[in-house]
Amino acid sequence: MLDWEKLRLFHTVSEAGSFTEASRRLGMSQPALSRQIASLEEGLGAKLFHRHARGLAMTHEGEQLAATTAEMFERVERTRQAIELSKDRPTGEIRLTTTMSFGSTWLPTMLPEFLERYPDIQINMVLADEDLDLQKREADVAIRFHPSTQNDLVQRQLAAIRYRLCGSPEYFARYGVPQTIADLDHHRIIAFGETAPSTIRGVNWIQDVGHQGPPRRPALVVNSVFGILQAVEAGVGIAALPSYLIRASGRVKVILPDVQGPVFRTYFVYVPELRNAIRIKILRDFLIEKMTPATLDIDESYALGA
């Protein structure tokens, strides 16, 4: 393997055209520099310079190596400049993971503004209802609907999201509108089911709220909150959905507005090594700015009959 320091010295000599000038630029003695170049030649098994009375002339092998080292140092310099610029101008890729429903509805509506502000940033979304392992670099950052279970991750609390009962106007026209929470016993219920990850197990509160005895038996079980929305829109039944998803749909209506489900706290999560990365900071601040009740919650206009 070639020694990086010897390549640096060779590059300086090839640009300077003499050991004397290269020694001056490097701030080292000419004999010491000559020994390093001789060692590099020995390692390569080839002469790099012809030494003569008027100075140095590169051999064919020397010219080949000079072309390579010139390209190497040019790329290093471009990288140095890019790093210097990125201190003030966010650049690079952010691998962001969140749930299928949030990443398929609310979040994409906000990303155009973010990318307009920061055109040198690339977002790579990885959607999954199970938590990806940030420590294993499965993603850089996460928007989660529960506190982190790993103490070695940095997390910033974002907005709260509430679940509400809803259904489609077509369903209510066919099967009637529940007037009390107890009336849910006589309606088709859509639930996430027992397969719900422990972190979002509360999504199934519709099976227990205002009900004595065993949980209500769902007519349909879907292992995706976004899939539940599709079933509600199709008129299959009544479900509990997060406010941002009801807002994004525009096709489902809230019933029993006084019956509000569990509140899910949201968090922006990342590894400590990214604490000072400017691209992570600006995404965090953007989400804090945009994830507000005004953009996530719903009002009476989403209620049935409004």
pLDDT > 70: what percent of the chain? 93
Name, in order, each residue with C-beta under 8 angstroms of 97's C-beta and a sequence gap of 6 or more.
103, 125, 126, 127, 128, 132, 138, 139, 141, 142, 143
Q: Can you tell me the distance from the alpha carbon of 242 to that of 76, in angstroms, rounded to the nearest whole number?
A: 49
Question: Does residue 142 have a pLDDT over 90?
Answer: yes
Q: What is the pLDDT of residue 123?
A: 96
Q: What is the pLDDT of residue 87?
A: 61
Q: What is the pLDDT of residue 102?
A: 93
Q: What is the pLDDT of residue 199?
A: 59
Mean of pLDDT over the chain: 88
Q: What is the pLDDT of residue 306?
A: 63
Q: What is the pLDDT of residue 165?
A: 94
Q: Can you tell me the distance from the alpha carbon of 128 to that of 231, in angstroms, rounded to the nearest whole number?
A: 19
Res. 78 pLDDT band, cuts 50 70 90? confident
Question: pLDDT of 221-254, one tens digit each?
Answer: 998 888 999 999 999 999 999 999 999 998 999 9
Mean pLDDT on 70-77:
85
Question: Does residue 3 have a pLDDT over 90?
Answer: no
CA distances 9 to 42, 47, 61, 78, 223, Å, are: 15, 15, 16, 20, 62
Q: Can you tell me the distance from the alpha carbon of 209 to that of 54, in angstroms, rounded to the nearest whole number?
A: 95
User: pTM, whole model, 2 decimals?
Assistant: 0.67
By three-state DSSP, how is residue 178 classified?
coil
CA distances 247 to 107, 251, 265, 281, Å, are: 12, 9, 18, 28
Res. 271 pLDDT band, cuts 50 70 90? very high
What structural domains does the chain harbor? 4-86 (1.10.10.10), 92-159+266-294 (3.40.190.10), 162-262+296-302 (3.40.190.10)
Region of 120 please: left (phi>0), alpha (psi -120 to 50) or beta: alpha
Q: Can you tell me the distance from the alpha carbon of 248 to that of 270, in angstroms, rounded to the nearest whole number?
A: 27
One-letter amino acid for residue 27 of the chain: G
